[in-house]
Amino acid sequence: MLAKDSKIYVAGHHGLVGSAIWNNLKARGYENLIGRSHKELDLTDQVAVRKFFDEERPDAVVLAAAFVGGIMANSLYRADFIMQNMKIQCNVISEAYAHQVKKLLFLGSTCIYPKNAPQPMKEDCLLTSPLEYTNEEYAIAKIAGLKMCESYNLQYGTNYIAVMPTNLYGPNDNFHLENSHVMPAMMRKVYLAKLIHDDNWQAIRRDLDIRPVEGVDGSSSQEAILDVLAKYGISDNKVVLWGTGTPLREFLWSEDMADASVHILLNVNFSDIIGIEKYSSVHYGAAIDGTVDRNHSAGRGGALPKLGEIRNCHINVGTGKELTIRQLSELVVQAVGFEGTVEFDATKPDGTMRKLIDVSKLHSLGWTHHVEIDDGVRKLFEWYKQSLQ
């Protein structure tokens, strides 16, 4: 357990999960939190990250910062998705080790699992068959991140834990029409189609002032606004969504993810995941409470042969429940009060057809989710409307 005065760096503290983790830690009495915006600290800049760690010397790190997006963004920016995320992970994890950080929590994604993995997906199905092509680069980066945590633990005796959340949604979500995930993009599309039908141009312009689309904002002409929204399947009382609507998805409220993350940060060690008896029975040269002996790791890392093969030490975080994209659209339509039509463009990719995770390891570590999807969709729409005030 980290002391209440521990200095905790939350990387990505303005983002969907990072902001929720920040608030969760505050609510538990952890006041000594550090955050930097992207403008203040570019995590892809190795020199800047090293300078930050030199100055701040955090006791613990939550790595919630990432370059993220949905199917369209993953398809368009493949090089960015692998390179930006690898830079962020390598810089933060290596500097955490160099500065003797006691505990690190790395946030990945369940897109790490094979496209045709058995459902629900257990942690052990990692790297057993090919990935989904549309998000392959992001998945490979996140696999590398969890392997970094695992490998540092095995070689240096660190206490770095990797958690793999399912699809997340909640306060501070990204509602960008091109780069956001499925639920916020869908919600904004439905809302704007309703506003067009209601001829509520004041609300439409307010929406675009806060979140411009391809440079089109609230000051643009009605024609320009309608043209750019049409590109994203938004028109008068009608929304067109990508795919067939048949893929199954699991969704987790971001504040639930934050609660799970903080629970693991405070209560779960690497030894709890791989088996304390096996791990501690070998003279290892480094304690897994974060006290690192940098002299024991000459060669290939001390006790590795005696420990045998240790892999898949990450933790799935989700609800263990799923619904189709079409069912999700129905919940969004209900929450928004939309009376128009929602169509699916089957010529566009669906992505992975099913992505349900097995959360038995998470449950065994003492945490289960709280917010169900129907209530969560309503809560997200209320937050979105408030963000437009």
Angle formed by the axes of helices 222-231 and 201-210, nearest 10°: 60
Is the bond into 120 cis (omega within 30 degrees of 0)? yes
Catalytic residue flag (residue 156)? no
H/E element holding 116? none
Q: Are 9 and 167 in contact (CB under 8 A)?
A: no
What are the φ and ψ backbone dihedral angles of 135, each rounded to 5 degrees?
Answer: -130, 30
- What span, in angstroms and rounded, lies between the C-alpha atoms of 18 and 275? 29
Measured CA to CA, the distance from residue 242 to residue 232 in angstroms comes to 10
Which residue type does 217 have?
Answer: D
Burial 25-57 (b: 16+ CB within 10 A, else e): beeeebeebbbbeeeebebbeeeebeebbeeee
| Measured distance CA(110)–CA(198) in Å, rounded | 39
Distances in Å between the alpha carbon of 221 and those of 224, 225, 226, 230, 232? 5, 6, 9, 14, 18
Residue type, 366: G
Is 125 within 8 Å of 131 (Cβ atoms)?
no
Residue 344 Cα distances to 10, 11, 175, 242, 245, angstroms? 38, 37, 20, 6, 6
**127 dihedral zone (left: phi>0; alpha: psi -120 to 50; beta):** left
Residue 282, Cα to own-chain centre: how many angstroms? Answer: 35
**Which residues, at least 6 apart from 183, have a Cβ–Cβ distance to it below 8 Å?**
167, 169, 173, 251, 328, 332, 377, 380
Burial of 328 (0-12, 13-18, 19+ CB in 10 A): buried
Catalytic residue among 77, 138, 160, 169: 138
Cross-strand pairs, 105: 62, 161
Catalytic residues: 138
